[in-house]
């Protein structure tokens, strides 16, 4: 845990190569965009600190390679991830059709309670759209995840998508901590009650013993 934050959340960006994952990361972490961005090889990551309530959350965002030849390497990076942005390109239907494969991988390697936000990127290219807004909404509803369309180039909804993900992770983490505390307190109470019962039994035995001796 870094000294300058209260929580450290690992987040992964996943989706086919060329959907704009790296530029989403650059835009959110540095407010930069590169038109000639090259495909990610392996994994890259960046940090950004966010204030959630009175807490400082540092998001550690991992940008994974979308090419098939890197999948054996990057699948291990799901370990410890609390959230994921699942990204497709609204101008390429094939990247939307690949989402089932990515969701399967998420559920195989990721935590069962991982927060997922579905992101349709490149919303600035409406004239080239191949995936309707309604298609993204329907899939998100079916898979019970959040959904947003973004444009890393125009900086549309990028901040909102990441902040929504981080806030949801914070909510899930807070609930888990509260549940763990409640369970711990319940166990402590049962232990105390158990000890009290043992003490009571011992006291009864000690009281009865002299009486038994006196009868003899």
Question: How many angstroms separate the CA atoms of 143 and 211, rounded?
Answer: 71
Q: If you ran DSSP here, which 8-state letter would residue 84 be given?
A: E
pLDDT digit string (tens) for 195-211?
Answer: 554 333 333 333 334 44
- What is the torsion angle, in degrees rounded to the nearest 10, for the CA atoms of residue 4, residue 63, residue 18 and residue 34? 30
User: Where do the domains of the chain lie, and which CATH numbers do they carry?
Assistant: 7-174 (3.40.50.300)
For the whole prediction, is pTM greater than 0.85?
no
Q: Does 2 have pLDDT greater than 90?
A: no
* Burial of 211 per CB tally in 10 Å (0-12, 13-18, 19+): exposed
Segment 191-195 shows an average pLDDT of: 54
pLDDT digit string (tens) for 140-176?
Answer: 999 999 999 999 999 999 999 999 999 999 999 987 7
């Amino acid at each position: 845990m870094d000294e300058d934050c209260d929580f450290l959340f690992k987040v992964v960006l996943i989706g086919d190569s060329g959907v704009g994952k790296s530029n989403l990361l650059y835009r959110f972490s540095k407010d930069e965009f590169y038109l000639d961005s090259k495909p990610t090889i392996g994994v890259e990551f960046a940090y950004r600190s966010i204030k959630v309530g009175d807490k400082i959350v540092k998001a550690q965002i991992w940008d994974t390679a979308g090419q098939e030849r890197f999948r054996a390497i990057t699948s291990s990076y799901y370990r410890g991830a609390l959230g994921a942005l699942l990204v497709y390109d609204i101008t390429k239907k094939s990247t939307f059709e690949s989402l089932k494969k990515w969701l399967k991988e998420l559920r195989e390697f990721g935590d069962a309670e991982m927060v997922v936000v579905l992101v349709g990127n490149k919303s600035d290219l409406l004239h080239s759209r191949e995936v309707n807004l309604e298609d993204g909404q329907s899939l998100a509803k079916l898979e019970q995840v959040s959904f947003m369309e973004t444009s890393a180039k125009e900086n549309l909804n990028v901040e909102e998508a990441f902040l929504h993900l981080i806030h949801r992770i914070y909510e899930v983490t807070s609930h888990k901590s509260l549940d763990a505390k409640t369970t711990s307190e319940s166990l402590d109470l049962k232990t105390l009650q158990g000890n009290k019962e043992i003490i009571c039994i011992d006291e009864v035995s000690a009281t009865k013993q002299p009486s038994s001796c006196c009868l003899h």
